[in-house]
């Protein structure tokens, strides 16, 4: 195994272990007293090949980006048992969360029901919730970022494993009918794939039941970091089941090998979706696979030798607040592996500066913990 692979893998582990979803009130997390030099950040090059200013970030698109960032942050409330199934947001969510109790922040909070809260047990992966907004006619599925020891172990299990969807029979039927191509030589991040083998089947049956009950409702799957990876996998499963989800993720780690990345883009019709965005001169947010990536967030460049799928929306500004003018539509990015420049003397300074952890936590709001939104 190459030395660079080990270095970036260790970086990824340290990063997710300490900073993905930490907050000072979590007794399971100790602050790492390490010191390293802050590396030079590899920034996005806004060249004509990967950025087109013709695609406007409209008020509606910006509001939805912020809205689903907060929906992702709500998963942090599950850790403390503060999200209650069968309640509306204003009765089943902590009082200090404005998103659940202030109609100026969230006008449809009293029409949004928490349909289910699912908590991963030992040996399982995938904690989150499903909510139904009857005013907007949308089903929201959100996954939590790395919080438990099991989550962190899954983050670090980066060995590629052969991809096999949870709904394997449906997958084979679609191939036989010629609706989709077979995912040949497809491999996926092993740790993330455990979701389909543990909670995935039960969870997806529940989602199917809700969508069949409300066939006119849209489905949005979202999450941050580990939650973004699980949202990506869930979006694939829903596509194979005949639904048209909008997968909108924040700080998505890389989880596909190159053949699978190409297959996922074909499944979500990513190129066609990009053409629609260009034609309409704004982002079409009714379906597709979108990744919101922050300037300076290294987790989106890791693990090594995996590739991103979908269309990228880029936050150019380092610190919050992130306003509409700070957002850029990138579209499809090059498939090549881009890694952070660690510099030559990288055993000094502060680990937070080295790993740009603040950028990983801040996507329109600070996503760490059940607070501040």
Query: Is 133 annotated as catalytic?
Result: no
The two structure tokens encoding residue 357: 């952890």
Of the candidates 225, 265, 274, 322, the residue annotated as catalytic is: 225
- Alpha carbons 103 and 106: distance in angstroms, whole number: 5
> What is the count of structural domains for the chain?
1
Residue 371, domain member (yes or no): no
pLDDT at 197: 72
Domain residue limits at 111 = 3-366
pLDDT at 44: 47
Residue 41, domain member (yes or no): yes
What angle, 0 to 180 degrees and rounded to 10, lies between the N-to-C axes of helices 190-197 and 149-156?
130
Instruction: Match 């660690």 to its residue by tokens.
Output: 342
CB 163 within 8 A of CB 260: yes
Residue 225, domain member (yes or no): yes
Residue 219, domain member (yes or no): yes
- Alpha carbons 181 and 167: distance in angstroms, whole number: 15
pLDDT at 231: 94
pLDDT at 213: 95
Residue 372, domain member (yes or no): no
pLDDT at 243: 95
pLDDT at 339: 43
Beta strands in the chain (DSSP E): 112-118, 128-133, 138-143, 160-162, 187-189, 218-224, 246-250, 288-294, 311-315, 327-331, 362-363, 365-366
The Cα-based distances of 341 to 222, 304, 327, 345, 358 in angstroms read: 29, 13, 24, 11, 18
CATH number for the domain including 247?
Answer: 3.40.50.1820
Mean pLDDT by 10 residues, the chain (373 residues): 39 43 36 29 40 80 96 90 93 95 96 91 79 97 74 62 90 95 92 72 86 96 92 94 96 92 97 94 93 84 86 91 94 59 41 59 88 89
Residue 212, domain member (yes or no): yes
Residue 139, domain member (yes or no): yes
Query: Is 101 annotated as catalytic?
Result: no
Model's pTM, two decimal places? 0.82
Residue 292, domain member (yes or no): yes
Query: Is 297 annotated as catalytic?
Result: yes
């Amino acid at each position: 195994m190459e030395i660079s692979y080990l270095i970036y893998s260790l970086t990824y582990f340290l990063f997710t272990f300490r900073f993905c979803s930490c907050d000072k009130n979590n007794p399971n997390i100790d602050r790492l007293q390490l010191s390293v030099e802050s590396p030079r950040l590899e920034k996005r090059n806004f060249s004509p090949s990967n950025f087109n200013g013709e695609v406007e970030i409209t008020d509606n698109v910006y509001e939805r980006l912020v809205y689903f960032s907060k929906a992702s942050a709500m998963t942090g409330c599950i850790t403390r048992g503060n999200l209650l199934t069968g309640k509306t947001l204003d009765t089943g969510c902590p009082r200090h969360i404005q998103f659940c109790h202030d109609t100026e922040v969230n006008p449809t909070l009293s029409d949004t029901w928490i349909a289910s809260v699912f908590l991963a047990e030992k040996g399982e992966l995938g904690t989150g919730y499903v909510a139904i907004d009857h005013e907007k006619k949308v089903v929201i599925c959100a996954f939590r970022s790395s919080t438990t020891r099991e989550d962190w172990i899954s983050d670090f299990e980066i060995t590629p494993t052969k991809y096999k969807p949870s709904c394997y029979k449906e997958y084979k039927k679609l191939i036989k009918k010629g609706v989709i191509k077979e995912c040949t030589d497809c491999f996926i991040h092993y740790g993330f794939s455990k979701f389909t083998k543990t909670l995935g089947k039960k969870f997806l049956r529940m989602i199917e039941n809700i969508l069949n009950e409300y066939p006119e409702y849209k489905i949005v799957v979202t999450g941050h970091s580990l939650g973004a990876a699980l949202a990506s996998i869930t979006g694939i499963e829903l596509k194979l089941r005949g639904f048209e989800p909008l997968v909108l993720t924040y700080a998505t780690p890389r989880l596909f090998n190159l053949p699978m990345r190409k297959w996922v883009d074909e499944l979500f019709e990513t190129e066609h979706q990009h053409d629609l965005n260009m034609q309409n001169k704004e982002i079409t947010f009714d379906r597709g696979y979108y990744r919101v990536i922050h300037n300076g967030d290294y987790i989106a460049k890791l693990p090594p030798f995996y590739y991103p799928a979908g269309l990228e929306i880029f936050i150019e500004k380092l610190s919050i607040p992130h306003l509409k003018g700070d957002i850029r539509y990138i579209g499809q990015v090059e498939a090549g592996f881009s890694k952070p420049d660690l510099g030559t003397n990288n055993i000094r300074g502060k680990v937070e500066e080295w790993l740009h952890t603040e950028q990983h936590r801040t996507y329109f709001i600070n996503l760490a913990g059940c607070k501040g939104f």
